[in-house]
Every structure is written in C-alpha cells, then in structure tokens.
Amino acid sequence: MIDRILYLGGALFLAVWFLWLAGDGLNAWFSGDDLMNLYGAWSTPVWRLAADCVVFSGATFRPLGALWYRTVFALAGFDPLAFHAVAFAFLFANIALTYVLVRLLTGRRETAAVAALLVSYNARFVNLYYDTGAIYDVLCYFFYYAALVWYVRLRRRGMIPGARHLAVFALLAVCALDAKEMAVTLTLAVLSFELLFYPPGSRRVRELGKWLREGGRGAAVAGVIAACFALAKAVGPAAIVNAPGYRPTITAGRAISSARAYLDHIFYQYGWFTSGRALALWLGMLALAAVARSRVLAFAWLLLTVTILPMLFLDPRAGSAIYVCLFGWALYAAALASDLTDPLLRWLPARLKGAALFLAVAALLLPHHRFEGGFTRRSATQSADELRAVSAALDRVRPSFPPGARILFLNDPIRPGVHDLMFLVRLSCQDQTLAVDRVKMMPAPPEPAGWARYDFVYDYAGGRFLEVKHP
C-alpha cells in the first residue's frame, strides 16, 4: 500500500512539475516552422504521407511528423492549442517511457524516478514546449525508447525475441526513423545492451555464433532497417545530405565544437565547455563507469555517445535537436546519484530513501530551471507572438475569403523571403485555391491599375490591415 502511494505521489509530482515549468507552452501560437510544416503536410495527399512512412525515400523528409500534422489538422482544424496538447501528451508519454526503461535496466524505482525527473524538463530545450516544429524530436524519442522498452523487457524476462517480437520491434524502429534520422543509432544501442548485459559466454567460435543468432537478432534487424534507410536518404539528387544545413563535415574540430555547444545546453552553461573540458568530462565518465564496474553506467555512457554522433558533424542546432540524447545523460546521472547516496541515506527506510533523493534532486534543479526558463521562453515565443498578432489583425478586417479569391498585400509585417502569410491565410480558411501575393515578394510593386485583377487589396499600418479594394 505504501509503495503504491509513493508511486502515485511521484507520478503526480512529475505531472505537476512538468506543467508548472513547461505548461505555458500550451498557450503558444503557431511558429513559422509550424505553418510551413503544417501546410506541407496538408497540401500532400494522405495516401502519399502514409506511403512515405512505409517506403524509405530520399525525396521525403520525416514523413511521420508530416502525418502527425495532417492528422491533428484533420481532427482539430487550425487550432494551436490542439497541436500543443497532442505534443504534450507525447512528452508525458516520453517521461513515462524513461521511467519504465530505467527501471528495467537498473531494477530500482528511485533511479527510474530521478531519470524521469531529469528528462522531464530542460529550459534550453524550450522548442519542445513552445514550438510543435520540434515534434520530430518528440516523436523520435517516443518510438526510439518504446522500441528499447519492448526489446529490453523481453530480454529481462529471459526470452529470445521471436519473429512476432522482432516484427513489433521493427515497426517501432521504422517509426523512429520516419520521425528523425537520429534513430539510425538504435542498432548500436541494442548491440551495446546485449554486449554489456548478455555478453557471449566465451570467445569460442561456437559460442559467438550462438550469441549472434540469439542475442544479436535485435541489432541485426535494426541494422538492416537502418542500412536501407541510410541508403535511401544518402543516394540521389534529393538526398538529405545535399540539403543546406545537413551536409556533414567529418572532422574532429567540428565534432568537438558541436559537443561543446550541446554540453552548454545540457548543463545551462554559456561557453564554459572548452575542448579540453568537454573531452575530460567524456573520458572521465567512461573511466568512472570502468572503475565502478557498472554495466548501467557503461550502457548510459555508450548511449549518450552513440545517440549524439549524427549531430556532431552538422552545424550546431537548438538544444531540442538532441532531445533523444538526453536519456543517456539522465540514466548516467540518476544511476550515479543513487549509488553515491546509498551510504549517506542508509539510516532511512528503503521506501523513504528514494523519495528523499528524488525531492533533493528536484530542489537542486528548480532554481536553475526557473532562471533559464525566464530567458528561453521569450526567445521561443517571439516569432509565434508576431504571427498571432498578424492573424488577429487579419481576422478583424476579414475572417475568411471566398474560394478562389485573389488577395494582394501592399504591405505586411512579415519579413520578405518567407511564405508565412500565404500559409496563414490558406490554413486559417482551409482553402488551397486562395491566391496570396505580397509586394514584398515582387520584383516591383504593381500600379493601382493592376489592382483590378485582385479581389482584395490590403495595406498595413499601425498594427492593422486596411482594406484598400474589395469586390
């Protein structure tokens, strides 16, 4: 009974904790990335989105996220709250998956609870909470660790995965890859788990062959899927490696530079991590795992290393881009905290020891989360707030347009070079036949005589759209 109360109390605490720190994201509006992603998904046939999730192709970009956008839009329309609410549901599920997987790996509730707490919120990962353009990372985390939970649970029960088990595992792996390319590391994650927790009995050829046939099944399945995915994405003119920002630079300098930037995000630093400090931390964590002879620490170290590998050779991105990597850090920190505090808290009953550690970590993190969150929230909401104001100003002058209408904006508050206004008008009216032209996007502004071919013409001044011409 006491265990159940503590379990439910911890779950309630995590829910309140997450909503208190990140819940304001439910009030956020659509960002520019949201509008672009949503419009791309909405303007693509559903059958094509579904087919892209089944057949890997270099011409498609993260099709599972596109299918997510299309599904929510079909059910809820152009409502930012609905999109953020569904994204938050996945974030809650990711916290739960973290708890389940860590408990499977360690067998300790307190370690699992602390890891879930560490994963639940990071102010530098602010896009996860305020911008559903980060849904690709959220979905990738969900399916990546759902696949590991499925696999690890089978192995912890002493089972060798059969065809049915591997089919489910393969489906989750494909979904993770369809969400984001980082899921190619799932092969190494499964292989690391098998080598550390269920290594071959000996180095004899017969034993190694038996291990490969049994313990190597999951890694083999994930490896074949990842190879097919990588081949489809890396070959041809539409290959993702040819896209701006996705062309890798395979050098030690780029890897160290990216690692320093991401470590600053994880630890709330501003340039503190030099190359030497980043390398010292990485090697120190490995040495500590070796000295402690801890399979859990070693697995966590391998996981945080392999999951970030695809990001190290690209231009550094926002913290949310390494959301999938956060699990390895949380597992390492939680396992280490549990091991170090066991002697210090030995005078407490076993049930209270975990609660004390959990609350102590929360108390330590809270002021840092609050302080950093004050800065990151403003930067995350600025673009969306501007688009919200544009949408409200447009609604005031004309909430909707007749099908096929041609609309000219002589001036508007959106910067040139982006199509946010066209996305906003068509999505809010749910009408792809609307023609939206902006003088900002034209080589030269049309003369007033040229306005005749437009059904509606608007100017913008003082935060308001002014209707210059109407039918």
For residues 234 and 236, give the distance between their C-alpha atoms in angstroms, rounded to a whole number: 7
DSSP reduced 3-state for 443: coil
With a CB cutoff of 8 Å and minimum separation 6, the contacts of 167 are none
Whether 424 and 455 have beta carbons less than 8 Å apart is answered as: no
- Three-class DSSP labels, 358-381: HHHHHHHHHHHHHHHHHHHHHHHH
The residues, any chain, with a CB within 8 Å of residue 227's CB and separated by 6 or more, are none
Q: Which of 308, 299, 314 is nearest to 263 (CA)?
A: 308
Residues 118 and 113: their CA atoms lie apart, in Å, by 9
Output the pLDDT for position 71.
95
Residue 469 has what pLDDT? 66
**Farthest-apart Cα atoms in the chain, separation:** 87
Residue 438 main-chain phi, psi, to 5 deg: -125, 135
* Rounded CA separation 369/123 (Å): 6
453, containing H or E segment:
none
CB atoms within 10 A of CB 372: 16
Instruction: Please answer whether residues 297 and 335 qualify as being in contact, where contact means their C-beta atoms are separated by less than 8 angstroms.
Output: yes
CA separation (Å) from 228 to 162, 232, 242?
Answer: 22, 6, 18
Give the model's pLDDT for residue 210. Answer: 75
Q: What is d(CA 375, CA 378) in angstroms, rounded to the nearest whole number?
A: 6
Q: State the residue for tokens 């090697």.
A: 283
For residues 136 and 52, give the distance between their C-alpha atoms in angstroms, rounded to a whole number.
15
Residue that has been written with the tokens 């930067």 in this structure: 379
pLDDT of 2 reads: 62
The H-or-E segment that residue 446 falls in is none
- The two structure tokens encoding residue 46: 């559903």
Question: Are 152 and 98 spatial neighbours (Cβ–Cβ below 8 Å)?
Answer: no
| DSSP symbols for 169-198 | HHHHHHHHHHH-GGGGGHHHHHHHHHHHHS
The neighbouring-strand residues paired with 437 are 408
Give the pLDDT of residue 376.
83
Return per-residue pLDDT of the chain as tens, 471 residues. Answer: 666 776 788 789 899 999 999 999 999 999 988 999 999 999 998 888 888 888 887 677 889 999 999 999 999 999 999 999 999 999 999 999 999 999 999 999 999 999 999 999 999 999 999 999 899 999 999 999 999 999 999 999 988 888 999 999 999 999 999 999 899 999 999 999 999 998 887 677 777 777 777 778 889 999 999 998 888 877 765 666 666 667 777 888 888 888 889 989 999 998 899 989 999 999 999 999 999 999 999 999 999 999 998 888 877 778 788 999 999 999 999 999 998 887 776 766 766 777 888 999 999 999 999 999 888 888 888 888 899 999 999 999 888 899 999 999 999 999 888 899 999 999 999 999 999 999 988 888 888 888 888 999 999 998 899 988 655
Q: How far is CA 396 from CA 77, 273, 292, 392, 405, in A?
A: 20, 50, 65, 6, 18
Torsion of Cα atoms, 28 then 32 then 37 then 43, to 10°: 110
Neighbours of 233 (CB within 10 A): 22
Question: Please, is 208 exposed, middle or buried when counting C-beta atoms within 10 Å of its C-beta (0-12, 13-18, 19+)?
Answer: middle
Does the CA dihedral 198-203-205-206 come out positive or negative? negative
Give the integer Cα–Cα distance in Å for 317 and 322.
9
What would you report as the CA-atom Rg of the chain, rounded to the nearest whole angstrom? 25
- At 184, which amino acid appears? V
Task: Tell how many helices (H) and how many strands (E) occur in the chain.
Answer: 18, 4
Q: Where are the alpha helices (DSSP H) in 23-162?
A: 32-42, 46-54, 63-76, 80-106, 109-120, 127-130, 135-156
